[in-house]
Amino acid sequence: MPHGERAPLTDSALAVGVDIGGTTVSAGVVDPAGRVRRLTQSGTPLRQAEPREAEDAIVAAVRGVWDGPEVAIGVGAAGFVDVGGRIVRFAPHVNWRNEPLADRLRARLGRPVHVENDANAAAWAEYRFGAVREERRLLMLTLGTGIGGGLVYGGRVERGAHGMAGEFGHMNVVPGGRQCECGNRGCWEQYASGPALQREARERLLALARPVTSWVRAGIDRPEAVTGEGVGELAQAGDPLAREVVAAVGTWLGRGVADLVAALDPGTVVVGGGVAQAGELLLEPARAALHSHLSGRGYRDHAPIVLASLGPRAGLVGAADLARLAARANS
Amino acid sequence: MPHGERAPLTDSALAVGVDIGGTTVSAGVVDPAGRVRRLTQSGTPLRQAEPREAEDAIVAAVRGVWDGPEVAIGVGAAGFVDVGGRIVRFAPHVNWRNEPLADRLRARLGRPVHVENDANAAAWAEYRFGAVREERRLLMLTLGTGIGGGLVYGGRVERGAHGMAGEFGHMNVVPGGRQCECGNRGCWEQYASGPALQREARERLLALARPVTSWVRAGIDRPEAVTGEGVGELAQAGDPLAREVVAAVGTWLGRGVADLVAALDPGTVVVGGGVAQAGELLLEPARAALHSHLSGRGYRDHAPIVLASLGPRAGLVGAADLARLAARANS
């Protein structure tokens, strides 16, 4: 059955998951095995959106995939979400500041709503349905506009004392380093993310001070034309300069992972998000950097770094599954 | 009853705790309320000791406090200890490399022995008997020769997938920074520890290029005469230069804590170890640095930084208590 068709979905264990990104809102009906049974994606950009606008987009997305009997609804959003899954303290894309999102959506949709940090939701999906199923200490990184982070420890999303665990992207890796949107300097996500890929590539082009034939052929005729996606595609096509750029970002990825391995000693580190589409071109240098920056190497085992297996739908799948479990626990 | 006297201790719930430091081996009989009922301390320096020598010192320390009926024995040691509490993978002071310490000690002492990382043991003691009793997410730092770290999450010592969680001192805070004993550069413990206090003070004296009267009076007549303890004492006596030095180290402490708060969002951060004797002179600048380096400040709550309350005996108290619980779980 292709996505979008309206065959009746009646399984009472279904749940709806919503993923709120900077550029799209996706919603899907998810079954208990983590399969997406129906999917919608709106192109409404929510960058700097007001709360009401974002709510409208979420409500429309949910109604776009589901009009059956009552189901649990899970919403994954970038930002700080309180431990109870009700209030968004702060979000980077939408203008949510201490927003009681779960209650507002419940009032409009008439169903229980669970809100989760998007990277926590993705980590949960990988734990439940992905390549690292049942890992007892899973640390997930989603590399996109920034670094999202999630921990699933002992079969639970570890949200921290205030719901804010997993903000790995704002660990300081270079004192006084690159300016971050958060107001600080030297945050890890300034060195290992989509924008970092773009920045690294631009700096190299500027330093070369001449166009690179293969890049020009791909439409990148000047530093300003570089995008993270463009670099990723060139790298996968075998372009040596693009591979160097991806490797440089992979090295920063591995250095930060070394800090997390020192602090947390996870069982597996899973890397997802758009930047992870570079695959081994990113992970090989990350593993090398992890190995060379890890204290006590030679006398200790450490987590492997592996690719996420669920792709861009992980967030909505995890949000739906967490909502289903929360609804079951409350019933 | 003064420590060291040999009144009969017969409570079957007693346990013996041993703490192996770089300069001393301490052992104590610990009751279920965490009180030390008998204590011995040997001055045997174990720096670079061979395994047999260290074992002899542990056996002598245990026999020095206990010859009653069978009790559980807990050993806290700096280093990497496997998750099962049996094997020391690597230790900085003693030449233990994949040493089956628990089994060797059991063979010589005829009683069950549980081995634990010393900072984990101290964290456990603070959780069970200290000022942060029952904190659900406790992160402990012990500032001494290096930074020891322990996590007690959800009522359990979180040891990580391979027993190596909590190695916070080897998180990289300055790329290419100060050389660390571990072989890397820029590890946090090079900036926030006893040796860091000493180094910071020496650099300031060198920069001043003249003796400082109050320091000379305290016996510090040249940079080489500086010790971390000496600086701490001067700071507590109100010396402005010494206070600046302690504050500089406190600032580094807070910067690293900001990374840990971003990653883990603990409920309380507890700081112990010798350097923590500087008290608020260390913690106030640490809190200021945490606040100014934390991403999302203003939209989030975060853990307070508090002083440990059990002092230098925390390690042996925690090791004894963990051994008692392990013995009970196995019986």
Q: Which residues of B touch A174 (CB under 8 A)?
A: 175
Q: Which residues of A touch B132 (CB under 8 A)?
A: none
Confidence of residue A298 (pLDDT cuts 50, 70, 90): confident
Size of interface A-B (CB pairs under 8 A): 147
Q: Which residues of B touch A255 (CB under 8 A)?
A: 172, 175
- Write down the pLDDT at residue B209: 86
Q: What distance in Å separates the CA atoms of residue A236 and residue A274, rounded to the nearest whole number? A: 13
- Kindly determine whether residue B296 and residue A158, on different chains, have CB atoms separated by under 8 Å: no
Q: What is the pLDDT of residues B298-307, one digit of tens each?
A: 888 999 999 9
- Kindly determine whether residue A296 and residue B267, on different chains, have CB atoms separated by under 8 Å: no
Q: What distance in Å separates the CA atoms of residue B271 and residue B192, rounded to the nearest whole number? A: 11
Q: Which residues of B touch A165 (CB under 8 A)?
A: 263-265
- Kindly determine whether residue A263 and residue B293, on different chains, have CB atoms separated by under 8 Å: no
Q: What is the mean pLDDT of residues A299-315?
A: 94
- Rounded to the nearest angstrom, the minimum Cα separation between A143 and chain B is 16
Q: What is the pLDDT of residues A42-62, one digit of tens each?
A: 877 787 889 999 999 999 999
Q: Which residue of A has its CA nearest to B83?
A: A265
- Kindly determine whether residue B183 and residue A293, on different chains, have CB atoms separated by under 8 Å: no
Instruction: Say if strands A88-90 and A80-81 run parallel, antiparallel, or are unpaired.
Output: antiparallel
Q: Which residues of A touch B165 (CB under 8 A)?
A: 263-265
> Is residue B2 scored above 50 in pLDDT?
no
- Across chain A, mean pLDDT equals 92
Q: Which residues of A touch B258 (CB under 8 A)?
A: 172
- Across chain B, mean pLDDT equals 92
Q: Which residue of B has its CA nearest to A185?
A: B293
ipTM of this complex prediction, to 2 decimal places = 0.93
Mutation target among A81, A99, A158, A167 for the B interface, most CBs of B within 10 A: A167
- Kindly determine whether residue A161 and residue B296, on different chains, have CB atoms separated by under 8 Å: no
- Kindly determine whether residue B266 and residue A161, on different chains, have CB atoms separated by under 8 Å: yes
Query: Using an 8 Å Cβ cutoff, are A41 and A28 in contact?
Result: no
For residue A175, what are its two tokens?
């004192």
> Is residue B246 scored above 70 in pLDDT?
yes
Cβ neighbors of A177 (< 8 A, separation 6 or more) are A185, A186, A187, A190, A191
Q: Which residues of A touch B146 (CB under 8 A)?
A: none
- Kindly determine whether residue B173 and residue A171, on different chains, have CB atoms separated by under 8 Å: no
- Write down the pLDDT at residue A2: 43
- Write down the pLDDT at residue A181: 87
∠ Cα B9 B15 B19 (to 5°): 120
Q: Which residue has the higher pLDDT, A273 or B6?
A: A273
If we measure between CA atoms, which residue out of B16, B112, B107, B33 comes closest to residue B67?
B16
Instruction: Say if strands B147-153 and A72-77 run parallel, antiparallel, or are unpaired.
Output: unpaired
Q: What is the pLDDT of residues A126-162, one digit of tens each?
A: 999 998 998 999 999 999 999 999 999 999 999 999 9
Q: What is the mean pLDDT of residues A201-208?
A: 95
- Rounded to the nearest angstrom, the minimum Cα separation between B311 and chain A is 23
Full 3-state SS string of chain B: CCCCCCCCCCCCCCEEEEEECCCCEEEEEECCCCCEEEEEEECCCCCCECHHHHHHHHHHHHHHHCCCCCCEEEEEECCEECCCCCCEEECCCECCEEECHHHHHHHHHCCCEEEEEHHHHHHHHHHHHCCCCCCCEEEEEEECCCEEEEEEECCEECCCCCCCCCCHHHCECCCCCCECCCCCECEHHHCCCHHHHHHHHHHHHHHHCCCCHHHHHCCCCCHHHCCHHHHHHHHHCCCHHHHHHHHHHHHHHHHHHHHHHHHHCCCEEEEECHHHHHCHHHHHHHHHHHHHHCCCCCCCCCCCEEECCCHHHHHHHHHHHHHHHHHHHHC
- Write down the pLDDT at residue B328: 85
- Kindly determine whether residue B168 and residue A263, on different chains, have CB atoms separated by under 8 Å: yes
Mutation target among A81, A159, A168, A259 for the B interface, most CBs of B within 10 A: A259
Q: What is the mean pLDDT of residues B219-227?
A: 94
If we measure between CA atoms, which residue out of B121, B256, B90, B136 comes closest to residue B186?
B256
Share of chain A above pLDDT 70, in %: 96
Q: Which residues of A touch B296 (CB under 8 A)?
A: 80, 89-90, 164, 167, 170, 182
Confidence of residue B4 (pLDDT cuts 50, 70, 90): very low
CATH class of this structure's domain A134-309: alpha beta
Point out which residues pair with A88 in neighbouring strands.
A81, A99
Judge if B15-123+312-330 and B134-309 fold alike in CATH terms: yes
Q: Which residue has the higher pLDDT, A142 or A13?
A: A142
Q: What is the mean pLDDT of residues B114-137?
A: 95
Q: Which residues of B touch A84 (CB under 8 A)?
A: none
CATH class of this structure's domain B15-123+312-330: alpha beta
- Write down the pLDDT at residue A43: 74
Cβ neighbors of B315 (< 8 A, separation 6 or more) are B17, B19, B26, B76, B118, B119, B121, B122, B125
Measured on CA atoms in the order A307, A310, A312, A318, is the torsion positive or negative?
negative
> Is residue B1 scored above 80 in pLDDT?
no
Q: What is the pLDDT of residues A62-81, one digit of tens each?
A: 999 998 888 999 999 999 99
> Is residue A4 scored above 50 in pLDDT?
no
Cβ neighbors of A281 (< 8 A, separation 6 or more) are A235, A236, A243, A246, A247, A250
- Write down the pLDDT at residue A209: 86
Q: Which residues of A touch B162 (CB under 8 A)?
A: 265, 300-302
- Write down the pLDDT at residue B7: 55
Q: How large is the greatest C-alpha to C-alpha distance in chain B, in angstroms?
A: 65
- Write down the pLDDT at residue A12: 67
- Kindly determine whether residue B264 and residue A160, on different chains, have CB atoms separated by under 8 Å: yes
If we measure between CA atoms, which residue out of A77, A75, A84, A73 comes closest to residue A110?
A73
Measured on CA atoms in the order B56, B140, A164, A107, is the torsion positive or negative?
positive
Q: What is the mean pLDDT of residues B210-214?
A: 92
- Write down the pLDDT at residue B233: 95
Quick one: B9 exposed, middle or buried, by C-beta within 10 A (0-12, 13-18, 19+)?
A: middle
For residue B324, what are its two tokens?
């008692």
- Kindly determine whether residue B168 and residue A262, on different chains, have CB atoms separated by under 8 Å: yes
- Kindly determine whether residue B295 and residue A264, on different chains, have CB atoms separated by under 8 Å: no
- Write down the pLDDT at residue A204: 95
Lowest mean pLDDT among A37-51, B143-157, B191-205, B280-294: A37-51
- Kindly determine whether residue B90 and residue A296, on different chains, have CB atoms separated by under 8 Å: yes
Q: Which residues of B touch A164 (CB under 8 A)?
A: 262, 265, 296, 300, 302
Please report, as a single letter, which amino acid is at residue B252.
W
Confidence of residue B12 (pLDDT cuts 50, 70, 90): low
> Is residue B206 scored above 80 in pLDDT?
yes
Mutation target among B90, B99, B172, B188 for the A interface, most CBs of A within 10 A: B172
For A165, which of B167, B173, B264 is closest by C-beta distance? B264
For B299, which of A90, A174, A267 is closest by C-beta distance? A90
Q: Where are the domains of chain B?
A: 15-123+312-330, 134-309
- Kindly determine whether residue A259 and residue B259, on different chains, have CB atoms separated by under 8 Å: yes
Q: What is the pLDDT of residues B181-203, one digit of tens each?
A: 888 999 999 999 999 999 999 99
- Rounded to the nearest angstrom, the minimum Cα separation between B106 and chain A is 24
Share of chain B above pLDDT 70, in %: 96
∠ Cα A183 A186 A192 (to 5°): 110
Q: Which residue of A has its CA nearest to B259?
A: A171
- Write down the pLDDT at residue A131: 81
- Write down the pLDDT at residue B9: 61
- Write down the pLDDT at residue B8: 57
Q: What is the pLDDT of residues B66-93, one digit of tens each?
A: 988 889 999 999 999 998 899 999 988 8
Q: Which residue of A has its CA nearest to B304?
A: A161
